[in-house]
Amino acid sequence: MRGVRFGLLFATVLVSGSAFAGDLGRVSDRVAAVVNDEVITLSEVYELGGDYVEEAVTGGGESMRHSAEHAVLERLIERKLVEQQITNLHLDVTEVELDKAIDEVSRRNGMDRDQVRAAVEQQGMDWDTFRAEQKEQLRELKFQRSVLQPRVTITDDELRDAYMRAGGSLGGEVATLQGIMVAVPAGADTAKLESVRARAREAMVKVDGGVPFAEVSAAYDEGPTKASGGEMGEFQRGQLVPALDTPVFAAEVNKAFIVELPTALFVFRVTKRHKVDTGLEEVRGKLTDAIFQTRMQEEQKRWYEQARRAAVVRVLLPGGDGRGPHDTGTPPAP
């Protein structure tokens, strides 16, 4: 959804099939694969990757359909194996954990939970479905932490080598930011949206006119930053969602500006911007994170290859190379 960052927990995501969901009724449903006695249907293939399949057919003809279906199916098989491992390890997510995660999403996007809910529903998703998806992502995150993360180690020598290869390019900018949020009501018509824009412009004019930011925040702010007088603190480039990060780091210092998102307008002012030191110790955390993410992707691929070999997977779709149904994997030891 635009303006709100919800982390995807796996590196490989083919497509979102939501735009194709209306065509699912045209798919003659049948079993596409069986993974350790659990079924994946053809409709699930098209729900996840219908757009991807149809684009492949459009670009390469009907002969590309089977190979595209298999590419999506392989992703679903991976998901199924992860889900089974999550269940086996009892990696449950409590309602308290789920609420905390959603509140963190809200905070990072300068919204409260009601505004996130409005944004979700504006995108055509009901709140219960959104919560279920977030819960599944948290379960997958627990899988990563419990199964994959213990396999990853990063030594000081590796960090120094990576730092030298980067040639000092790991530094970045830090902006000290003030902000005021003016909410867009759910279902706002054009007239109401113009009213919200006018209110945001009015706040911006007052800020640029010399009215103390805290005073303007007290009068106009409808978000969580009102409690701090609009003071948001320091943000390093890339820390904010892209819709906010780009204008913040392009803005003139001490000049108010407006960023419009679907659920709110933000009046921002950057009070200071400076470069961070690029010494190894100063970028150790950033460099460690970058190496860690690469290693996690490698470990996930390695884990999947091992799990795939150990699982009983029967693929019932015609093969991408024109062959018929086939089996992979071997039965687990009794």
pTM, two decimal places: 0.54
* Cβ-contact 223, 111 below 8 angstroms: yes
Joined together, the tokens standing for residue 179 give 């902000």
* Residue from 8, 81, 79, 20 nearest 47 by CA: 20
DSSP state letter for 240: S
* Cβ-contact 37, 149 below 8 angstroms: no
Residue type, 26: R
Sheet of 38-41: strand order equals 38-41, 31-35, 313-315, 326-328
Q: Domains of the chain by range and CATH?
A: 18-147+303-328 (1.10.4030.10), 173-275 (3.10.50.40)
Question: In sequence order, what DSSP letters do the residues of 262-321 get, joined into one string?
Answer: SSEEEEEEEEEEEEPP-SHHHHHHHHHHHHHHHHHHHHHHHHHHHHHHHS-EEE-SPPTT
pLDDT confidence of residue 171: 57
Instruction: Identify the segments of the chain with pLDDT beneath 50.
Output: 1-26, 320-334
pLDDT confidence of residue 22: 41
Place of tokens 């699982």: 311
